[in-house]
Amino acid sequence: KAGVTQTPRYLIKTRGQQVTLSCSPISGHRSVSWYQQTPGQGLQFLFEYFSETQRNKGNFPGRFSGRQFSNSRSEMNVSTLELGDSALYLCASSLKVTANTWELFFGEGSRLTVL
Amino acid sequence: EDQVTQSPEALRLQEGESSSLNCSYTVSGLRGLFWYRQDPGKGPEFLFTLYSAGEEKEKERLKATLTKKESFLHITAPKPEDSATYLCAVQATGGSYIPTFGRGTSLIVHP
């Protein structure tokens, strides 16, 4: 069974540019979450989508946005890039395993470097 | 506010030297506690889900246990390939299903 696929794996941008990252979840998973991981802050939640609707949102500025398509694939966009946006961006697809618990499965991430 | 604290931040072991990693949590109620392994530059790899105090799960040299306030990841006779960062996360009752992650424990196993 294919895992979570993220593209691109690596990218370099300059300040002020924008970037779009893509995520294909595990087949059958309808929930997709995005996280930012940096050495200083650890894993920080960006947003979660379920059935094309944003269900939860973290504490990130409006420059960070996302969407989900009808096939559950998701994209996130960061506009007006800043140096501090350099990070590993992780996508996770979720499976409901009990009435109250969802398990997250992560992709390999997209490493963004902003110069 | 939900909190997850992992200790130690870093751990160096000799091959074969067993040890434990700790994950302390403060939540109003627990839906599930998760352990992940993360290799440098890669995404976290799911290891275990624990649901209630007293529960234990094993996978190869790893054994995870859970109490009402903390979880331990026991590593028995580790090998260099067990070197990685181990992340703990909790999913709390009430509100969303979004888990809160700890900062992780970086484990290095020397041959």
On whether any CB of chain B is under 8 Å from the CB of A102, the answer is yes
CA of A57: which chain B residue's CA is closest?
Answer: B98
For every one of its 115 residues, what pLDDT tens digit does chain A have, with 9 covering 90 and above?
679 999 999 999 999 999 999 999 999 898 999 999 998 888 999 999 999 999 999 999 999 999 999 999 999 999 999 999 999 999 999 988 887 788 899 999 999 999 9
Give pLDDT, residue B94: 78
**Pick from B85, B62, B79, B103: nearest CA to B13:** B79
Q: Which amino acid is at B46?
A: F
Residues B84 and B39 sit within 8 Å (Cβ to Cβ): yes
**Nearest-angstrom CA–CA distance, A98 and A93:** 16
**Nearest-angstrom CA–CA distance, B20 and A78:** 39
Give pLDDT, residue A1: 62
Which three-class secondary structure state does DSSP give residue A84?
helix
DSSP code of residue B82: G
Matching residue, tokens 């990693």: B21
Contacts of B103 in chain A (CB under 8 A): 42
**Nearest-angstrom CA–CA distance, B111 and B12:** 11
How far off is chain A from B15, nearest CA to CA, in Å?
27
Give pLDDT, residue A98: 80
Give pLDDT, residue B28: 85
Residues in CB range of B60: below 8 A, 6 or more apart: none
Name which of A43, A56, A111 is nearest B41 (Cβ-Cβ).
Answer: A111
Give pLDDT, residue A56: 93
Residues A61 and A68 sit within 8 Å (Cβ to Cβ): no
Which three-class secondary structure state does DSSP give residue A38?
strand
How far apart, in Å, are the Cα atoms of B66 and each of A82, B27, B51, B89? 41, 14, 8, 12
B4-37 pLDDT tens trace: 999 999 999 999 999 999 999 998 889 999 999 9
The pair of three-digit structure tokens given for residue A59, joined into one six-digit string:
């504490």
Give pLDDT, residue A96: 84
Residues A103 and A3 sit within 8 Å (Cβ to Cβ): no
**Nearest-angstrom CA–CA distance, B69 and A94:** 25
Q: Hey, which residues 31-50 in chain A have their CB within 8 Å of chain B?
A: 33, 42-43, 45, 48
- Hey, what long-range contacts does A56-65 have (CB within 8 A, 24 or more apart)? A56/B96, A56/B97, A56/B98, A58/B98, A60/A36
Instruction: Indicate yes or no: CB of A109 within 8 angstroms of CB of B41.
Output: yes
On whether any CB of chain A is under 8 Å from the CB of B99, the answer is yes
